[in-house]
Structure 1
Amino acid sequence: MPEQQNPLKHCIFISLPPSMERDIGDFHVDSSIQIPVQLPDGKTQIDSKTEISFELIVAGMLKVIAFNWEHEHASYYRDFVLAVQPDAPQELTLAAIAQEKKGNYTFAEELFLSVIRLAPQSASFINLATLYSSMATQDSNKGEVYDLYQQKMINILQEGLEVVGEDATLYSEIGFFHLYQGNVELAKEYLDHYLELAEDGEKKKHVQNIMKDINTKLNDDANLMQAYDAIQMNDEEKALVLLASYIKDNPKVWNAWFLKGWALRRLTRFQEAEEALVQALALSKGSSDIYNELALCSLETGKTELAKTYLNTAVDLDDENITLVSNLAYLHLKDGEFDEARKFLEMARVIDPKDPVIIQLMKDYQNQSGETLSSPVVEELVSTEEVITQSKEEHPFFIQGKEETDDIEASFSLEDVER
């Protein structure tokens, strides 16, 4: 196991002779408790009579404190270190900061972990959280390593809150973490606690200003949801009033323009609806819902070909949406474009052959085109080997050649077989 995963593998445990028992201030050295000793670099064993030093004992204890706080004697080791070296937390903090600046993050983590066990204070937990933030940014792709250290960061801040108790600084750090992650409601919860505890000053004023923005955003989001609910309840006029206020403060939010277009389209105000939907399209990466609404507006204003174009794009973005596919099949069937109509009918049948709209469109297709639809066309990829085997069975004198035995794939459909 790598050292980073098993940081205690270079520690051994020894017993002190009873003659070593003594009091150091209020602390009593207990010879019945085994103590950890860190092995010198490059060594796998140590001479207990000549090579054990005070520094190696403290180093071993610090490793246990840092990486195995659940150890049955961890508290004893902590008290031991503080008894013989009372200023250890301050010295370790300075050393950790120095290692962090050098980019020795693993060693800095060990030192910071030791500090929060020796003398847990909000600043100690925040120092370690800041280190984890630096370690996360090393993963520029924001992959697994980034996620790991982001999670470690919030975990250590939460632990600090549990250990230290109500602390304004920890509340603000956790609040800003969630704000950065986009968890606005969680951020508000922790920053509200910060404002309750914080003393007046520039930082508090800064957080108060941020809270104004957060409250505005949350209120705006609530208005957006109310607008959506109003449309669902067939109260489009109310939705438009809510959306006008929202868009005034948030002109770059595409969802709001989409809802406005949707409401206007339902009110048969097609030209205005189309303008709102085009704005939604400009502010977004495009969605099948926007293109579908644009198609409906175009259809209502006599622009059938444009409606088909919009629906084609919608289907490209969401080819499992039976509504979009059936709408496109209907438009082509309506215009007598039977090949295109059949293409999209076949797509729809694969999605849901029992859909009543599709069943009716199939009947309409057969009545208008005079062509009988059989089983759904399903494309199946088969290898050349399978084709050869089948052909041998059907044609015993089939002769193999290089072209027939190459490892390629051919596309066949049930329709091809039937014909």
Structure 2
Amino acid sequence: MNPTSPLDTIYYINLPENFSLSKNAMHIDPTIPLPVQQKDSDAPGTFDPKELTPEQILSGLLTIMAYDPKNEHILYYRTLLKEARPNLQKELTEAAILKAKNEDFDLAEEIFSALRGYDPEDMVTVLNTALFFDQRADAYRRQGLTDDADAYDEDALVYYRDALDAEPPLPDAFFNAGFYFLKKHNYREAKSNFETYIALTCDMKDEDLGENGIYKKNRAQEMVNNISNRNMEDDHFVAAYDLISRGEEEKGLQEIRKFISKNPNVWNAWFMLGWGMRRLENFEAAKQAFEKALTLEGGKTSDTYNELAICLIELNDLEGARNCLNTALKSEPENTKIISNLGYLALKEGNPAQAAAYFQTVLEYNPDDKIAAAELAQLDV
């Protein structure tokens, strides 16, 4: 029978008073049950203290940190970990960041959970957790897993909010939260966070900020200027995104047209107009809007080219669609939405073998992509 929870893989033991793991072992209070990670070879009800390893204890303690942070003995267990591995927090943080970078998300999430249980007051860990969920959401959105991406974005927001409330303030929380809200098209909140970051760092000398800090400060100011210059805090712009996102495209298009009438050179507005039109399957009007976005400063993004390609496929301009998708793929070579659209383009061109190759590539990046799997199953190649 497989365990239903990671806590099912540990058991508690009481050790004799004179028990020690080694000459230099951590001090263990025999009156407090000790969580031990069971071995795969352990049979139920069998335990020999002579076979107990330090790794089993450390693993058991970390499991408690991750999945039972309200355990009645949590303070004692934290003390044991600090005695056994003084550099544990640094080691685990580096491991979690590396796992997240390699998109080993489940293990990274488990390590971040253990870190929060180990030191719940550490706001850097809280911020790192927010960044992790933010990154995980972005990865899933690139794979077309919109529902999963939205769920992890919500998780990220919870930890960003906690990090933003830190005392003393944590400048990097405001910098990173600014980009989170920018991604969510909440330009007012994004601008506010970037402005706060600038205010928190304005009195710091360049030598104290360092090269990375100077870059962040300039980048934050650039984002504030972009939002202000493009008037992206405008009520019509904000309402348009909210309405189209909720499936009220007609109302959203009314709002974005009002915005464009006063702000005709904002590429994001034309992109939003094209997005709404494409969702309504008005592909010619959507095509024109995306093409306009490409002519404006900042509009030549992979998303713009990808959206334009979808319209061109529907309008049977297959060569134009391929050019757009290839351009988008140069910017984001592992974006499975773009690769999937190349597969649909190949189908439209009557090349099922090439389409299958694209869908297979999608599955190599994301084995859980149900759409690519379904398309591949239908192809007799």
TM-score (norm 2): 0.53
Q: Check conservation: 2:96, 2:111, Cα contact below 8 A.
A: yes
Question: Whole-Å Cα distance in 1 between the matches of residues 168 and 65 of structure 2?
Answer: 21
Tell me by how many angstroms 1:251 deviates.
8.0
Q: Is the 8 A contact 1:253 1:283 kept in 2?
A: no
Maintained 8 Å contact 2:134/2:180: no
CA deviation string 1:17-37 (max 9, x = no partner) = 34459xxxxx97433322211
1:66 aligned residue: 66
Q: Distance in 1 between matches of 2:259 and 2:65?
A: 57
Q: Does 1:187 pair with 2:195?
A: no
Q: Is the 8 A contact 2:227 2:233 kept in 1?
A: no
* Pairing 1:15–2:31 present: no
Q: How far does residue 13 in structure 1 lie from its aligned partner after superposition?
A: 1.4
| Residues 284-341 of structure 1: per-residue CA shift (max 9 Å, x gap) | 9xxxxxxxxxxxxxxxxxxxxxxxxxxxxxxxxxxxxxxxxxxxxxxxxxxxxxxxxx
More deviation in 88-97 or 155-164?
155-164
SS in 1 for 2:29: coil
2:246 corresponds to 1:247: no
Is 1:138 the equivalent of 2:137?
Answer: no
Q: What SS does structure 2 have at the residue aligned with 1:138?
A: helix
Specify which of 151, 155, 158 is matched with residue 158 of structure 2.
Answer: 155
C-alpha distance in 2 between matches for 1:8 and 1:111: 15
Residue number in structure 2 paired with 1:84: 84
SS in structure 2 at match of 1:171: helix
- Contact 1:125 1:156 (8 Å CA) reproduced: yes
Query: Cα deviation per residue 1:125-169 (whole Å; 9 max; x = unaligned)?
Result: 344334334433135223332222222222233334456651000
Q: 2-side partners of 1:281 and 1:55: how far apart?
A: 60
Structure 1 CA distance, aligned partners of 2:230 and 2:49? 68
Match for residue 175 of structure 1? 178
Partner of 2:353: none
What SS class does the counterpart of residue 11 from structure 2 fall into? strand
Instruction: Please tell me whether the aligned partners of residues 157 and 170 of structure 1 are also in contact (alpha carbons under 8 angstroms).
Output: yes
Aligned to 2:348: none
Deviation at 1:220, TM superposition (A): 6.6
Residue number in structure 2 paired with 1:371: none
Are 2:194 and 2:223, in contact at CA under 8 Å, matched by a contact in 1? no
2:42 maps to what in 1?
Answer: 43
Which amino acid counterpart does residue 246 of structure 1 have in structure 2? K
AA at the equivalent of 1:125: V
Alpha-carbon distance in 1 for matches of 2:233, 2:125: 38
Deviation of 1:6 after TM superposition, in Å, equals: 1.8
Q: 1:247 and 1:86, CA in 2 relative to 1: closer, same or farther beyond 3 A? A: closer
Match of 1:208 in 2: 221
- Distance between the aligned counterparts of 1:171 and 1:104, measured in 2? 26
Aligned to 2:310: none
TM-score (norm 1): 0.48
**Aligned counterparts, 1:287-366, within 5 A:** none
1:30 maps to what in 2? 29
Structure 2 unmatched runs, 5+ = 21-25, 207-213, 239-257, 274-284, 291-381
The one-letter amino acid paired with 2:177 is I
Q: Highest relative contact order (Cα 8 Å, sep 6+), 1 or 2? A: 2
Counterpart contact for 1:62–1:114, Cα < 8 Å? yes
SS in structure 2 of the partner of residue 40 of structure 1: coil
Q: Which residue of 2 aligns with 1:114?
A: 114
Q: Structure 1 residue 39: deviation in Å?
A: 0.7
Give me the whole-angstrom Cα distance separating, in 1, the residues matched to 2:84 and 2:234. Answer: 58
- Per the alignment, in what secondary structure is the counterpart of residue 182 of structure 1? coil
Provide closer, same or farther for how the CA distance between residues 42 and 165 of structure 1 changes in structure 2, counting only shifts above 3 A. Answer: farther
Whole-Å separation in 1 of the counterparts to 2:237 and 2:85: 60
Distance 2:69 2:87 in 1: 20
- How many Å separate the matches in 2 of 1:185 and 1:44? 58
Q: Provide the residue aligned with 1:273 in structure 2.
A: none
User: Counterpart of 2:36 in 1: which secondary structure?
Assistant: strand
1:78 Cα offset (Å): 1.4
Is 1:99–1:105's contact at 8 Å kept on the other side of the alignment? yes
Question: Does the CA contact (< 8 Å) of 1:37 and 1:61 recur in 2?
Answer: yes
Structure 2 residue aligned with 1:382: none
Shift of 1:62: 0.6
> Which amino acid in the other structure matches residue 58 of structure 1?
L
The alpha-carbon deviation at position 64 of structure 1 amounts to 0.9
Larger Rg: 1
SS of the equivalent of 1:12 reads strand
Count of residue correspondences: 242
Quick one: distance in 2 between partners of 1:176 and 1:76?
Answer: 39
Question: Whole-Å Cα distance in 2 between the matches of residues 112 and 220 of structure 1?
Answer: 35
Identity of aligned residues (%): 25
Q: Which residue of 1 aligns with 2:129?
A: 128
Q: State the AA in 2 paired with 1:89.
A: Q
- The question of whether the paired residues in 2 share the 8 Å contact of 1:82 and 1:118 is answered with no
- Contact 2:12-2:33 at 8 Å conserved across structures: yes
Give the 3 Å change call, closer, same or farther, for CA 102–245 of structure 1 in structure 2. Answer: closer
Distance 1:183 1:43, change over 3 A: farther
Task: Report the equivalent of 1:394.
Answer: none
CA distance in 1, matches of 2:193, 2:129: 19
